C-alpha cells in the first residue's frame, strides 16, 4: 500500500504571488488571464505580485518576447511589485535576479544538496535505451516510466557521460487542497524518477520553479489547469528540500464555443494584437475576468477597480471557460460607451495622428458625440466617420426612398436645399436643421425628405441622422453635397433619356 503524503496549509504568511511566463512566444490571453487573477488576489490581500521570467529553454527564449510580455502587462495596467524593469536589462531585486538564466548558481546549490543526500542521482541511460524500455513497458500494458536503473548503481557506467540528473521519486500518495478544485490526489508510484536537470548548469522547469518559489517566498501559486500534473512532482521536491509548500489554485482551461480546444487563431494571438485591432485594455481585462469567474448578480461590465472589490478566488469555476469573440467585442463596445468624450478624444486623436489624419478638437468631439454608441472597436471610428472627411462615391439609385421616381427624388432634394440655404452658418445646429427640414415635410412621409438627404450627405445606406451630419460638416459643405446629389439625379435621368431615344 502506498504511503500517504498530505499537504496541509501551514501558518498564514504574507500573500506573495507570481506570474512566471516563458519568453518563448508572445503574451496571449491564457497567460494574461493568469496574470489578472494573480494581480487581483494580491491586491485584495494587500500582497505582492511578482513577475519572473522562466527562460530555462535557452534555444527558444528571446529578449523580444520578454519585452512584449512586460509591455502587454503594462498596457493592461497589471503592474508588478517585484521583477524586471521595463526596457532595462537589470533584473536584480531583494531575492536576486528575476530571470532564471541568471540564477544558475542558486539552482546548482540545491541540485548538489539533493545529490549529496542521495535524493537525486546522475543517470547514464541513453535516449535509445530509454525508448526501448518505454516500448517494452507499453507492450506489457504498463504505464511507461523510468525503471530506476541508475538509482542504486554503486559503480556507474564510467565509460559514459551522465545524460541527466534524476530525482528519487517517492512512491507515495500526494494529496493537497486546491483553492479551485478542492481535494486533489495523485499516485506518485506512477511518476518514476523524474529528470530535474541536464547537468548542474542546466536545471529543468519543474526543479527551477520549486527553488524560485521557495527563495522568493511565494505563498500562493495561481496558474492554469495545464500545470496541475506538475504540482505533485513539485510537492515531492519541496519535501525533499525541506521547503514550505505554497497554496495552489489551478484555473480552468479556456475552450472554444463547442467546448473543444481553443484554436491557435485565438490561443496564440498576441495580446498586443488586440490593442492593434482597437480593443480597450479595460474591456480585455473585463473579458478575461469572466473566463472562469463571475461576480454575484447579473452585472458583467466592470472596470479593474470593481473587479478588485468583487473578485473571489473560491468562486472560480472548475469546468472550462468558453472564449467568445462576440462577447469580447460586445464588452469592448460597452467600455467605449462608458468613456467620456474627452477620454475617447485622447485615444482617437492618437490613432488619427498615426494615420496622418488631422482634425480640429471641436470637430472630433462632435463626431465622437454621434458615433460613440455605434463603435464596437476603436478601429471602427475612421471607417465610420470617413464620410465626414470625404464624401464617398455612390449611385443615384441609392437616393431613392422606397419606390420613388428620380424626379420625385430631385424634388425632395431641392426642398432640402431650399430649407438649409435660408439658414445662417451660426444657426446650423442639428436641432435647427431638423426644424428647417420638418417645415418642408408636408403630407408626404418624413422618409421622402430625410432618406435622400441622408444619402446625399453620407454617400451611404446606413449613416447617422442627416441633421447630425450637416451640423458637423457645416452649411457650406452640406449645400455642396446636396447639389452634387441633384446633379447625379439629373445626369442619370438625362442618360436614360438619351439611351431611350
Name, in order, each residue with C-beta under 8 angstroms of 134's C-beta and a sequence gap of 6 or more.
144
Name the burial class of residue 249, with classes exposed (0-12), middle (13-18) and buried (19+) by CB atoms within 10 angstroms of its CB: buried
The CA-atom distances, in angstroms, between 198 and each of 5, 162, 227 are: 28, 9, 21
As a whole number of angstroms, the distance between CA 142 and CA 138 comes to 5
Closest CA to 100 of 58, 39, 163, 38: 58
Name the burial class of residue 412, with classes exposed (0-12), middle (13-18) and buried (19+) by CB atoms within 10 angstroms of its CB: buried
Yes or no: say if 248 and 183 are a contact pair by the CB < 8 Å rule. Answer: no
Yes or no: say if 168 and 120 are a contact pair by the CB < 8 Å rule. Answer: yes
CB under 8 A, 24+ apart: contacts of 30-35: 30/224, 30/254, 30/267, 31/69, 32/72, 32/73, 32/76, 32/271, 32/284, 32/288, 33/251, 33/254, 33/288, 33/289, 33/291, 33/292, 34/222, 34/223, 34/224, 34/251, 35/73, 35/76, 35/78
Is 264 considered catalytic here? yes
Question: Which three three-digit cell numbers place residue 79?
Answer: 503592474
As a whole number of angstroms, the distance between CA 488 and CA 469 comes to 20
DSSP structure string for 291-336? SS---SSS-----HHHHHHH--GGG--SSPEEP-HHHHHHHHHHHH
Yes or no: say if 50 and 83 are a contact pair by the CB < 8 Å rule. Answer: yes
Q: How many CB atoms lie within 10 A of CB 178?
A: 16
As a whole number of angstroms, the distance between CA 497 and CA 501 comes to 6
Angle, alpha carbons 129-131-133 (nearest 5°): 70
Name, in order, each residue with C-beta under 8 angstroms of 225's C-beta and a sequence gap of 6 or more.
250, 251, 252, 253
Name, in order, each residue with C-beta under 8 angstroms of 421's C-beta and a sequence gap of 6 or more.
479
Q: Residue 185: beta bridge partners?
A: 175
As a whole number of angstroms, the distance between CA 8 and CA 176 comes to 7
Q: Which of 58, 264, 314, 402 is catalytic?
A: 264
As a whole number of angstroms, the distance between CA 342 and CA 333 comes to 17
Catalytic residue IDs: 264
Amino acid at each position: 500500500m502506498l504511503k500517504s503524503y498530505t499537504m496541509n496549509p501551514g501558518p498564514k504568511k504574507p500573500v506573495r504571488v507570481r506570474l512566471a511566463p516563458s519568453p518563448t512566444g508572445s503574451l496571449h490571453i491564457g497567460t494574461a488571464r493568469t496574470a489578472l487573477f494573480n494581480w487581483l488576489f494580491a491586491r485584495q490581500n494587500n500582497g505582492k505580485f511578482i513577475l519572473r521570467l522562466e527562460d530555462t529553454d535557452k534555444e527558444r527564449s528571446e529578449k523580444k518576447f520578454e519585452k512584449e510580455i512586460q509591455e502587454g502587462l503594462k498596457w493592461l495596467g497589471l503592474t508588478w511589485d517585484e521583477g524586471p524593469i521595463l526596457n532595462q536589462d537589470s533584473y536584480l531585486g531583494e531575492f536576486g535576479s528575476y530571470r532564471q538564466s541568471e540564477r544558475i548558481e542558486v539552482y546548482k546549490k540545491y541540485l548538489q544538496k539533493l545529490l549529496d543526500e542521495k535524493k537525486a542521482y546522475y543517470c547514464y541511460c541513453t535516449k535509445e535505451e530509454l525508448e526501448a524500455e518505454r516500448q517494452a513497458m507499453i507492450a506489457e500494458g504498463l504505464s511507461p516510466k523510468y525503471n530506476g536503473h541508475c538509482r542504486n548503481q554503486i559503480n556507474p557506467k564510467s565509460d559514459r557521460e551522465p545524460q541527466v540528473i534524476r530525482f528519487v521519486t517517492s512512491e507515495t500518495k500526494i494529496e493537497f487542497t486546491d483553492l479551485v478544485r478542492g481535494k486533489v490526489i495523485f499516485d506518485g508510484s506512477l511518476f518514476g524518477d523524474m529528470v530535474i536537470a541536464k547537468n548542474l548548469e542546466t536545471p529543468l522547469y519543474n526543479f527551477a520553479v520549486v527553488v524560485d518559489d521557495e527563495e522568493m517566498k511565494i505563498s500562493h501559486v495561481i496558474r492554469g489547469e495545464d500545470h496541475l500534473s506538475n504540482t505533485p512532482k513539485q510537492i515531492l521536491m519541496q519535501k525533499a528540500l525541506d521547503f514550505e509548500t505554497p497554496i495552489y489554485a489551478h484555473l480552468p482551461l479556456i475552450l472554444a464555443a463547442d467546448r473543444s480546444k481553443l484554436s491557435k487563431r485565438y490561443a496564440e494571438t498576441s495580446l498586443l494584437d488586440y490593442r492593434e485591432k482597437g480593443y480597450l485594455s479595460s474591456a480585455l481585462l473585463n473579458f478575461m475576468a469572466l473566463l472562469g469567474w463571475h461576480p454575484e448578480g447579473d452585472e458583467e461590465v466592470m472596470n479593474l477597480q470593481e473587479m478588485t472589490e468583487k473578485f473571489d478566488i473560491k468562486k472560480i469555476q472548475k469546468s472550462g471557460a468558453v472564449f467568445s469573440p462576440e462577447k469580447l467585442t460586445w464588452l469592448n463596445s460597452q467600455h467605449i460607451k462608458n468613456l467620456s468624450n474627452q477620454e475617447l478624444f485622447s485615444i482617437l486623436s492618437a490613432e488619427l495622428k498615426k494615420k496622418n489624419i488631422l482634425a480640429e478638437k471641436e470637430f472630433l468631439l462632435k463626431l465622437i458625440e454621434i458615433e460613440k454608441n455605434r463603435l464596437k472597436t476603436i478601429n471602427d471610428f475612421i471607417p465610420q466617420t470617413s464620410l465626414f472627411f470625404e464624401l464617398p462615391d455612390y449611385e443615384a439609385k441609392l437616393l431613392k426612398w422606397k419606390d420613388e421616381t428620380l424626379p420625385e427624388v430631385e424634388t425632395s432634394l431641392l426642398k432640402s436645399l431650399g430649407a438649409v440655404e435660408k439658414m445662417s452658418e451660426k444657426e446650423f445646429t442639428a436641432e435647427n436643421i431638423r426644424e428647417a427640414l420638418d417645415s418642408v415635410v408636408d403630407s408626404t412621409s418624413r422618409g421622402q425628405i430625410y432618406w435622400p438627404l441622408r444619402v446625399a450627405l453620407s454617400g451611404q445606406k446606413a449613416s447617422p441622422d442627416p441633421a447630425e451630419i450637416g451640423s458637423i460638416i457645416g452649411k457650406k459643405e452640406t449645400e455642396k453635397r446636396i447639389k452634387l446629389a441633384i446633379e447625379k439625379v439629373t445626369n442619370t435621368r438625362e442618360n436614360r433619356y438619351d439611351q431611350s431615344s
